[in-house]
């Protein structure tokens, strides 16, 4: 059945391509050659499987085919260092067995090597993100380009350039050791976090592709936890992504409008994601003081665990935001801290926490600040001030969905005011 | 082992005295690289005013008085290091005093194997659009 061959190719591509590629790169010593070999193996699979049927172990078939293509390609690629030795090793391997290369632990090591290489700090951040999605995720260059709203040739060039730099500059294919490791792990987690945020935060662009970014980031997060089970930050990041993603379907209504946490239909939340996320969070805080991902995940968990918006434990959320602000100060964290304080201890107290941010000239054009200010003023009963702050936020908003929501709130406010008189 | 050229960029505002202020540090870094067997070559360059940039356009040689690009930094020196990989080269680049005040560029040096083999037109390499057909 032709369709079964195609769907199997898609599944194996998504689930096993990165592992096959990771091991082949180690043998071949060159990203591009290994990638070409794996690509050709998948192309051959489609034709062969349609004709001869699907093999018992499709992943092993791809591994062996990619290895033989790599041998052919290596014979022609004279610029690769230690070419003769690498060819000999591949030929030896090919004669020994037809099963997948190496032990499970060796395969895991190869995938870690691949992650650390794609996220190497000598590559610029957009290149790291693109290369990670391309080589470790199951996304095509076209899909990555659409997700980041750049032209496909631009994204293609970015990926090719990154691979060339890896080859030309001899970026090592290894897991960093010793004192270097913690910083590099943080760098890898950051790349995954950026991929997730790109998929989660923006409401413009191709929503379907953006959902795929979230899924890819979560897959990468799971992989990192599997490969580095002792890393609490990795578990924290996975928890954070799962708990945010659990609410993805509830964040936008049938008309494409943003739905705030308070108004979300909790029946739309993904229970499996929540369960997995809470489990990951437990592992993340078990043996080490919480880092930024753990704190963010814990805040999200508190929101989710409340039976409804009014039952939320705002005092604890405010405390966690305070801690997050000490660890990783940013305007966003400051705003969320003030908001949480406002809910826990009253809008006036929240406004006091917002004061320093409002005094910062650098944040004058920061739309979320004015939206938060408006919300707190409204709840404190200062409707004139709230109207002014909403107008300012609307004027600064560049996002259609967001602006519509702000305008709706301003209208409600105006209705309340005229209602006061009657 | 691959070789790396480590290029040192100093701020243009730096005067001669500033430039040599870290002399003992320079000597220590250089000596430690030499002892470790990593040092291939190194040397300071004359100040930026002595630079000449050479360009060839349509067979004509053009000379420009000055460095290759207008930046706030000038190329102040280089090291050629023999390192296992980029990580090792970056590690040593970060030890250069210039890394603190200016920039240090690490550029991989092409090995003989990586230089394209001369084709039939080995005398003058053809460029797209400039060939005479």
Asked whether residue A226 is assigned to any structural domain, the reply reads: no
3-state SS class at A71: helix
**pLDDT category of residue A82 using cuts at 50, 70 and 90:** confident
Asked whether residue A152 is assigned to any structural domain, the reply reads: no
Asked whether residue A168 is assigned to any structural domain, the reply reads: no
Residue B50 has pLDDT above 80, yes or no: no
Of B86, B111, B113, which is closest to A169 when you measure between CB atoms?
B86
> Residues B75-83: what's their mean pLDDT?
85
Chain A residue whose CA is closest to B108: A169
Residues A200/A300, Cβ–Cβ less than 8 Å: no
Distance from CA of B6 to the nearest CA of A (A): 12
For A187, the token pair is 């760098």
**pLDDT category of residue B123 using cuts at 50, 70 and 90:** very low
3-state helix, strand, coil in chain B (%, to 5): 25, 30, 40
Q: Which residues of A touch B106 (CB under 8 A)?
A: 169
* Mean pLDDT, all residues of chain B: 72
Distance from CA of B50 to the nearest CA of A (A): 30
For A350-377, letters b (16+ CB in 10 Å) and e give bbebbeebeeeeebeebbbbbbbbbbbb
Positive or negative: CA dihedral A226, A323, A128, A218: positive
Residue A422 has pLDDT above 50, yes or no: no
Q: Which residues of B touch A79 (CB under 8 A)?
A: 113-114
Asked whether residue A24 is assigned to any structural domain, the reply reads: yes
Residue B122 has pLDDT above 60, yes or no: no
Cα–Cα distance, A248 to A71 (Å, whole number): 45
**pLDDT category of residue B99 using cuts at 50, 70 and 90:** confident
Q: Which of A37, A70, A101 is the last residue of a domain?
A: A101
pLDDT digits over A156-167, tens only? 999 998 898 898
pLDDT the model gives residue B129: 37
**pLDDT category of residue B127 using cuts at 50, 70 and 90:** very low
> Residues A263-268: what's their mean pLDDT?
85
Distance from CA of B64 to the nearest CA of A (A): 30
Q: Compare A385 and B57 and report the one with higher pLDDT.
A: A385
Interface test with B, best of A165, A169, A174 (most B CBs within 10 A): A169
pLDDT the model gives residue A274: 96
Contacting A residues, span 54-93, partner chain B, CB-CB under 8 Å = 78-79, 81
Q: Which DSSP letter does residue A3 get? A: H
Q: Compare A104 and A142 and report the one with higher pLDDT.
A: A142
Residue B107 has pLDDT above 70, yes or no: yes
Cβ–Cβ gap B113/A81 under 8 Å: yes
Of B86, B106, B113, which is closest to A172 when you measure between CB atoms?
B86
pLDDT digits over A16-49, tens only? 899 999 999 999 988 889 999 999 999 999 999 9
Cβ–Cβ gap B2/A170 under 8 Å: yes
Q: Compare A134 and A262 and report the one with higher pLDDT.
A: A134
Q: Which of A63, A82, A101 is the last residue of a domain?
A: A101
pLDDT the model gives residue A122: 87
Q: Out of A198-212, A334-348, B32-46, pick the least confident.
A: A198-212
Closest CA to A23 of A99, A113, A155: A113
pLDDT digits over A209-227, tens only? 678 889 989 999 999 999 8
Asked whether residue A90 is assigned to any structural domain, the reply reads: yes
Q: Bridge partners of B78?
A: B7, B43
Contacting A residues, span 166-205, partner chain B, CB-CB under 8 Å = 168-172, 176, 180
Cβ–Cβ gap A168/B111 under 8 Å: no
Distance from CA of A318 to the nearest CA of B (A): 40
pLDDT the model gives residue A102: 59
Q: How many Cβ pairs within 8 Å bridge chains A and B?
A: 25
Contacting B residues, span 51-90, partner chain A, CB-CB under 8 Å = 84-87, 90
Q: Which of A55, A79, A101 is the last residue of a domain?
A: A101
Interface test with A, best of B87, B108, B117 (most A CBs within 10 A): B87
Cβ–Cβ gap B108/A170 under 8 Å: yes
Cβ–Cβ gap B86/A79 under 8 Å: no
The phi and psi torsions of B53 (rounded to 5 degrees) equal -105, 135
B97 touches chain A (CB under 8 A): no
Choose the most confident range, by mean pLDDT, from A319-333, A406-420, B60-74: A319-333
Q: Which residues of A touch B86 (CB under 8 A)?
A: 122, 169-172
Cβ–Cβ gap B87/A78 under 8 Å: no
Of B85, B106, B108, which is closest to A172 when you measure between CB atoms?
B85
Interface test with A, best of B82, B85, B86 (most A CBs within 10 A): B86
Asked whether residue A96 is assigned to any structural domain, the reply reads: yes
Of A78, A79, A122, which is closest to B90 when you measure between CB atoms?
A122
Cβ–Cβ gap A81/B87 under 8 Å: no
> What percentage of residues in chain A have a pLDDT greater than 90?
56
B108 touches chain A (CB under 8 A): yes
Distance from CA of A173 to the nearest CA of B (A): 10
3-state SS class at B4: strand
* Mean pLDDT, all residues of chain A: 88
pLDDT the model gives residue B2: 86
Asked whether residue A25 is assigned to any structural domain, the reply reads: yes
Cα–Cα distance, A121 to A132 (Å, whole number): 13
**pLDDT category of residue A421 using cuts at 50, 70 and 90:** very low
Q: Compare A97 and A387 and report the one with higher pLDDT.
A: A387
In this prediction, the answer to ipTM > 0.90 reads no
Closest CA to A74 of A59, A91, A95: A91
Q: Which residues of B touch A169 (CB under 8 A)?
A: 86, 106, 108
The whole domain housing A409 covers 341-422
Of A81, A170, A180, which is closest to B86 when you measure between CB atoms?
A170
The phi and psi torsions of A411 (rounded to 5 degrees) equal -60, -45
> Residues A112-128: what's their mean pLDDT?
91
The Cα angle at residue A140 between residues A135 and A142, in degrees rounded to 5: 135
pLDDT the model gives residue A397: 84
Interface test with B, best of A29, A113, A119, A170 (most B CBs within 10 A): A170
B94 touches chain A (CB under 8 A): no
Classify B3-112 by CATH class. Answer: alpha beta
Cβ–Cβ gap A78/B84 under 8 Å: no
Chain A residue whose CA is closest to B114: A79
- Overall domain count for chain A: 2
Cβ–Cβ gap B113/A171 under 8 Å: no
In sequence order, the 6+-apart residues with CB closer than 8 A to the CB of B122 are none
């Amino acid at each position: 059945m032709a369709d079964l061959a195609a769907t199997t190719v898609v599944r194996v591509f998504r689930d096993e391509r990165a592992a096959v590629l990771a091991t082949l790169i180690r043998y071949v010593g060159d990203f591009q050659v290994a990638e070409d070999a794996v690509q050709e193996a998948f192309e051959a699979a489609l034709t062969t499987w349609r004709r001869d049927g699907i093999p018992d172990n499709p992943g092993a078939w791809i591994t062996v085919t990619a290895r033989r293509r790599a041998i052919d390609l290596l014979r022609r690629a004279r610029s690769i260092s230690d070419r003769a030795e690498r060819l000999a090793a591949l030929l030896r391997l090919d004669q020994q067995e037809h099963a997948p290369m190496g032990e499970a632990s060796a395969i895991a090591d190869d995938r870690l090597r691949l992650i650390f290489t794609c996220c190497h700090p000598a590559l610029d951040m957009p290149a790291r993100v693109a290369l990670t999605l391309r080589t470790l995720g199951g996304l095509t260059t076209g899909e990555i380009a659409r997700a980041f709203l750049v032209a496909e040739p631009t994204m293609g060039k970015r990926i090719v350039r990154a691979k060339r730099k890896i080859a030309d500059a001899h970026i090592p294919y290894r897991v960093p050791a010793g004192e270097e490791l913690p910083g590099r792990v943080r760098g890898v987690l950051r790349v995954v976090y950026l991929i997730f945020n790109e998929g989660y935060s923006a409401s413009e662009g191709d929503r379907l592709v953006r959902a795929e970014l979230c899924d890819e980031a979560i897959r990468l997060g799971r992989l990192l936890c599997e490969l580095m089970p002792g890393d609490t930050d990795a578990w924290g990041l996975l928890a954070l992504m799962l708990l945010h993603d659990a609410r993805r379907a509830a964040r936008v209504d049938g008309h494409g409008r943003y739905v705030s946490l308070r108004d979300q239909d909790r029946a739309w939340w993904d229970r499996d994601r929540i369960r997995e996320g809470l489990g990951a969070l437990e592992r993340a805080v078990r043996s080490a003081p919480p880092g930024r991902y753990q704190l963010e995940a814990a805040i999200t968990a508190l929101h989710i665990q409340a039976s409804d918006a009014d039952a939320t434990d705002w005092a604890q959320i405010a405390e966690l935001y305070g801690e997050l602000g000490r660890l990783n100060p940013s305007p966003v964290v400051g705003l969320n801290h003030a908001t949480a304080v406002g809910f826990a201890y009253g809008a006036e107290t929240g406004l006091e926490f917002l004061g320093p941010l409002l005094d910062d000239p650098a944040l004058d054009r920061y739309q979320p600040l004015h939206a938060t200010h408006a919300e707190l003023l409204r709840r404190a009963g200062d409707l004139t001030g709230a109207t002014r702050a909403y107008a300012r936020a609307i004027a600064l908003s560049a996002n259609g969905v967001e602006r519509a929501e702000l305008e709706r709130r301003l209208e409600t406010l105006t209705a309340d005011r005229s209602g006061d008189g009657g | 082992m691959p070789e790396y050229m480590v290029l040192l960029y100093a701020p243009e505002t730096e005067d001669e005295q500033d430039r040599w202020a870290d002399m003992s540090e320079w000597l220590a870094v250089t000596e430690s690289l030499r002892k470790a067997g990593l040092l291939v070559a190194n040397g300071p360059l004359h100040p930026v005013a002595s630079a000449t940039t050479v360009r060839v356009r349509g067979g004509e040689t053009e000379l420009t008085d000055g460095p290759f690009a207008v930046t706030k930094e000038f190329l102040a020196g280089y090291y050629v290091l023999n390192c296992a990989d980029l990580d090792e080269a970056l590690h040593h680049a970060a030890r250069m005093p210039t890394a603190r005040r200016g920039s240090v560029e690490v550029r991989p040096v092409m090995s003989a194997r990586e230089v394209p083999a001369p084709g039939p037109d080995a005398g003058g390499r053809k460029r797209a659009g400039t060939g005479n057909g």
